[in-house]
Amino acid sequence: MKVKVNVDRLREGMFVSDLDCDWTQTSFLLEGVLIAGEEELAELQRCCNFVYVDTERSHDSVIPDLQTLAREPAPASAAVSTKQQAEKEAEREEKHFQQALQEARPVHGRTKTYIETLLEDVRLGNSLDTNTARELVTEITESITRSPNAMVWLSHLKHRDEYTVTHCMNTCILAVTFGRYLGMDKDALELMGLGALLHDIGKMCIPLEILNKPGRLTPEEYEIVKTHAQKGHELLVSKGGIPQESLDIVLHHHERISGKGYPHGLMGEQVNRMTKIVSIVDVYDAITSDRCYHDGIAPYEALKNMYDWISEDFEQELVEQFIKCLGIYPIGSMVQLNLGQVGIVVSASEKSRLRPIVLLVINSKGERYVKPKLINLAHPRWREGKQKLEIRKILQNDECDIDLPPIIQDESLI
């Protein structure tokens, strides 16, 4: 049970599961916090007027207080008004996502076609069209500015045999999404997005038998693969007209703050902020994708792994911000609900990230829906009573037989 509590009545031992503001406005790394002392109390009082406390996850010592608070009735008129507002907001959010997705699909499709052509031109030694790349990055940026969730959902349209093409697109989408979250302006987003879209162009200069090798690379083969950053940079410099900020991303996206990256072994502040951002999303998309030599892992598992790698590879503040950007239930996550249904997170709710929009594909009996059901868990109808639905756990990719790309491609489903 969840109880609405004014912040001045919070105390140690209570587990706060929802806020009256966005979690991103707080300093908490993940959504949902157990109040352990004055630090958590002060931060909640700074950001909120009231919160929701989960009685099941709170310490036993505070249960009597929460039971008392739960019996205190809210003014009837205010309760009705709040519920009606919540219903309208949830329905509006769902429609907004569907409209944004409809607008994003053509941009995503054109970008895929362009990258396929561009990479083939590199392999054949043809002249390169980078003007179209600029135009497409502008469209992607505008789409993400309107609604980032639609493009991030489409970034999960991945096929093992198209890895390099989809990876270039997804790195651009995720970089712009993350940059927007960080408050970067439009010009900076487009410069970063261009570098991200073109960051792996040099891989087309690597022999296919090495690039697509299903097993572990030999040390000699790995040294050849590492040349792709330099080769891509040289290609784009010779083409001309690519901004220096974008070129730097292509050249240095494999540098690491420890100095153990390549091609120049740069350390710390020697790597600029845009390149650090692209490096983070580059790794995130790579490890969540199926490739010729490994299966991708679940988004949530990828974020946990990347947090563990901070000391060697990434700037801590940026990784923590990236985790907040994607949320506790990243888009594309397979989740099981409390009544047994299995679904896919398709859109992160801006005001209630613990209750995202989910596409249900398996019912409570373990049977496939004839047509998947799109529900916004933030809607009041799913918050209480017999219909109450909430996410019980995130599933690993091998725990459910769900093939995501056909679901994303089927425009009739969402």
Q: Is the pLDDT of residue 231 over 60?
A: yes
What are 159-194's pLDDT values in tens digits?
887 899 999 999 999 999 999 999 999 999 999 999
pTM score, whole prediction = 0.82
Angle between helices 163-181 and 186-197 (to 10 degrees): 160
Report how far residue 79's alpha carbon sits from residue 85's, in angstroms, rounded to the nearest whole number. 10
| 208 compared with 132, residue with greater pLDDT | 132
Report how far residue 374's alpha carbon sits from residue 344's, in angstroms, rounded to the nearest whole number. 9
Query: What pLDDT sits at residue 346?
Result: 95
Report how far residue 378's alpha carbon sits from residue 333's, in angstroms, rounded to the nearest whole number. 17
Q: Is the pLDDT of residue 248 over 90?
A: yes
Query: What pLDDT sits at residue 171?
Result: 98
| 342 compared with 82, residue with greater pLDDT | 342
Cβ(360)–Cβ(377) below 8 Å: no
Average pLDDT for 233-243: 94
Structural domains in the chain, sorted by start: 2-72 (no CATH), 90-326 (1.10.3210.10), 334-409 (no CATH)
How does DSSP classify residue 22?
-
Cβ(16)–Cβ(32) below 8 Å: yes
Q: Is the pLDDT of residue 314 over 70?
A: yes
Report how far residue 238's alpha carbon sits from residue 233's, in angstroms, rounded to the nearest whole number. 9
**138 pLDDT tier (thresholds 50, 70, 90):** very high
Query: What pLDDT sits at residue 414?
Result: 86
**79 pLDDT tier (thresholds 50, 70, 90):** low
**29 pLDDT tier (thresholds 50, 70, 90):** low
Average pLDDT for 146-164: 91
Average pLDDT for 143-155: 94
**350 pLDDT tier (thresholds 50, 70, 90):** low
Q: Is the pLDDT of residue 76 over 60?
A: no
Average pLDDT for 342-361: 88
Cβ(134)–Cβ(194) below 8 Å: yes
Q: Above pLDDT 70, what percent of the chain?
A: 96
Average pLDDT for 339-355: 87
Query: What pLDDT sits at residue 293?
Result: 74
- Cα dihedral sign for 264, 269, 271, 277? positive
Q: Above pLDDT 90, what percent of the chain?
A: 61
In the three-class reduction of DSSP (H, G, I as helix; E, B as strand; rest coil), residue 372 is classed as strand
Average pLDDT for 36-61: 84
Average pLDDT of the chain?
Answer: 90
**73 pLDDT tier (thresholds 50, 70, 90):** low
Average pLDDT for 260-274: 95
Reading across the β-sheet that carries 357-362, which strands appear in turn? 368-376, 357-362, 342-347, 334-337, 391-395
Q: 45, exposed or middle or buried, with CB in 10 Å at 0-12, 13-18, 19+?
A: middle
